Amino acid sequence: MTTVSNRLKTTIDTTTGHELTFDTYTGEVLVSQKEIIKRHKVTTDVGSQCRHPVDARTSEELTEILSVHDYWADNLTIEPEKLLDLLETGAISVGAIKLFRQILLGLAGRNIWFGKLTDVATKREIGDLTRAGLIRVIRQGKAMPTKVIVHPWYGWRGDRMSRQSYIGAWIRIASD
């Protein structure tokens, strides 16, 4: 019995930009389609013509700011195995891990979550995450939602290339 998955190979022809799927035994091209690469062009300067993401006070403001220069703002990356590693260390309670996962799933952009922590957790769980260095809580007054900045190693929404610089800044490693 022949396994079909070993016979088929997909590659991109760099000269024409076509994605080709072919049979490796016969050499027959089965599918040929033009690969469309979406280009994203930034036309504004961050900081002078629009604000930095850390300056956002609400989820809506962050979405507006990221729409200017983060084409992948809807991509959510969560590392579940890293959450399990936190449980294995025993330094954080199960309730705190559940809260942390809920915050990660609700990231508005980059590593920022907006909301009212008292509605979703106890002070003990919030304290556990803060002491462990997994979140930083910024209170913005009664009229504004609480801003929670999450350790970017565990969760991220948006362009993953910028995630590395945020991780370095979180653990205070200077980048060149």
Instruction: Please indicate whether residue 63 or residue 138 has the higher confidence score (pLDDT).
Output: 138
Looking at the fold, whether 30 and 100 belong to one and the same domain comes out as no
Looking at the fold, whether 14 and 88 belong to one and the same domain comes out as no
Looking at the fold, whether 149 and 63 belong to one and the same domain comes out as yes
- Residues 151/77, Cβ–Cβ less than 8 Å: no
**CA-CA-CA-CA torsion sign (161, 49, 65, 41):** negative
Is there a domain that residue 110 lies in? yes
Domain count, the chain: 2
**Residues 6+ away with beta carbon under 8 Å from 154:** 78, 79, 82, 83, 100, 104, 134
**CA-CA-CA-CA torsion sign (136, 116, 78, 127):** positive
Is there a domain that residue 156 lies in? yes
Is there a domain that residue 139 lies in? yes
Looking at the fold, whether 63 and 20 belong to one and the same domain comes out as no
Is there a domain that residue 68 lies in? yes
pLDDT of residue 135: 92
How far is 32 from 13, CA to CA, in rounded Å?
Answer: 10
pLDDT of residue 4: 52
Is there a domain that residue 74 lies in? yes
Instruction: Please indicate whether residue 106 or residue 90 has the higher confidence score (pLDDT).
Output: 106
Looking at the fold, whether 19 and 83 belong to one and the same domain comes out as no
What's the pTM?
A: 0.66
Provide the domain limits for residue 24: 4-34
**CATH number, domain at 133?**
1.10.10
pLDDT tens for each residue of 103-118 = 999 988 888 889 888 8
Is there a domain that residue 42 lies in? no
Looking at the fold, whether 17 and 95 belong to one and the same domain comes out as no
pLDDT of residue 35: 60
